[in-house]
């Protein structure tokens, strides 16, 4: 049995378009790599030498200004694809926010495989267009939404995209969802274009209004998801 057969994101990743024989061929050119929180796998400005599927964990896409400030420009979750196929320079770094597991391929090997398997190329195009749509929505969030709408939108996206231990149902209260955030308050502020003080105020406001609870610094319990969605605009 290949590692593809055991992969927990097998039916959601770009390789879902492949049959058993094609999966075996893809498995032959890939390898699983474990990352610890804070470990980078791709560096900004370097040649694209690898691509990867995220199996488990959460990673950030970030770029740095000339004076050394970091800006988080995206977040990837299990089943997402990272790297730049078909050559070019990487425009951002990729670093694990949590312990993570990725399926890594040499970019040249992956490019050759994709050219021989149109279904994989098609799936990759679908993913690219989906990422473009998310980027456009994020531009709206950063450019037009209020601080309250930004925070609500952020929590809704976390609820929808975090899997496994990252977002779990409260079995004592099935309508509630418990998020384990991979971000610090400062990182949330960086992602949303807010100050850390504003982020803290928004968390407190949502808690006081009964929309969320904050059992710990990194945990958020969604008490009223419909209200959160409405507030996200």
What is the domain count for the chain?
Answer: 2
pLDDT in tens, 30-43: 899 999 989 999 99
Q: Are 127 and 210 within one domain? A: no
Q: Are 81 and 191 within one domain? A: no
Cα-flanking dihedrals φ and ψ of residue 55, to 5°?
A: -95, -45
For 164-218, give the DSSP string: GGGEEE-TTSTT-EEEE-SS-HHHHHHHHT--HHHHHHHHHHHHHTTSEE-SSSS
Structure token pair of residue 144: 């037009």
How far apart CA 157 and CA 12 sit, in angstroms, is 17
- Of the three residues 109, 140, 171, the one that is the final residue of a domain is 140
pTM of the model: 0.78
Whole-number mean pLDDT of the chain?
A: 85
User: What is the residue whose two structure tokens read 């976390």?
Assistant: 158
- Of the three residues 87, 110, 140, the one that is the final residue of a domain is 140
3-state secondary structure of 226: helix
Q: Are 12 and 34 within one domain? A: yes
For 233, the enclosing helix (H) or strand (E) is none
Highest-scoring range by mean pLDDT, 60-64, 181-185, 194-198: 194-198
3-state secondary structure of 66: coil
Integer angstrom CA distances of residue 92 from 43, 45, 65, 186: 7, 7, 11, 20
Domain that holds residue 38: 3-140
Q: Are 115 and 76 within one domain? A: yes
Q: Are 7 and 93 within one domain? A: yes
% of the chain residues with pLDDT over 90: 30
List the CATH number of the domain containing 158.
Answer: 1.10.10.10
Q: Are 186 and 111 within one domain? A: no
Q: Are 109 and 155 within one domain? A: no
Nearest to 203 by CA among 144, 148, 138: 148
Nearest to 107 by CA among 59, 17, 22, 46: 46
Q: Are 22 and 87 within one domain? A: yes
Total length of the chain: 233
Cα-flanking dihedrals φ and ψ of residue 102, to 5°?
A: -130, 150
**pLDDT grade, residue 102 (50/70/90)?**
very high
List the CATH number of the domain containing 59.
Answer: 2.60.120.10
Q: Are 101 and 155 within one domain? A: no
- Of the three residues 111, 140, 169, the one that is the final residue of a domain is 140
């Amino acid at each position: 049995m290949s590692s593809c057969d055991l992969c927990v994101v097998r039916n959601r990743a770009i390789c879902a378009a492949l049959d058993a024989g094609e999966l075996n061929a893809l498995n032959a050119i890939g390898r699983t790599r474990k990352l610890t929180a804070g470990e980078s796998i791709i560096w900004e400005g370097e040649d694209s030498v690898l691509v990867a599927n995220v199996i488990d964990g959460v990673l950030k896409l970030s770029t740095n200004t000339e004076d050394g400030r970091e800006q988080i420009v995206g977040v990837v979750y299990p089943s997402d694809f990272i790297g730049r196929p078909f050559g070019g320079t990487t425009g951002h770094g990729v670093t694990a926010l949590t312990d993570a597991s990725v399926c890594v391929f040499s970019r040249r090997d992956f490019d050759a495989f994709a050219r021989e398997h149109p279904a994989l190329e098609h799936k990759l195009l679908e993913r690219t267009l989906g990422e473009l749509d998310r980027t456009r929505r994020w531009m709206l969030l950063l450019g037009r939404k209020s601080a309250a709408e930004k925070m609500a939108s952020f929590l809704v996206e976390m609820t929808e995209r975090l899997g496994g231990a990252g977002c779990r149902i409260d079995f004592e209260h099935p309508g509630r969802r418990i998020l384990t955030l991979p971000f610090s308050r400062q990182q949330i502020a960086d992602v949303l274009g807010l100050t850390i003080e504003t982020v803290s105020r928004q968390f407190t406001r949502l808690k006081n209004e009964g929309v969320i609870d904050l059992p710990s610094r990194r945990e958020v319990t969604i008490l009223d998801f419909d209200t959160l969605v409405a507030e996200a605009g």
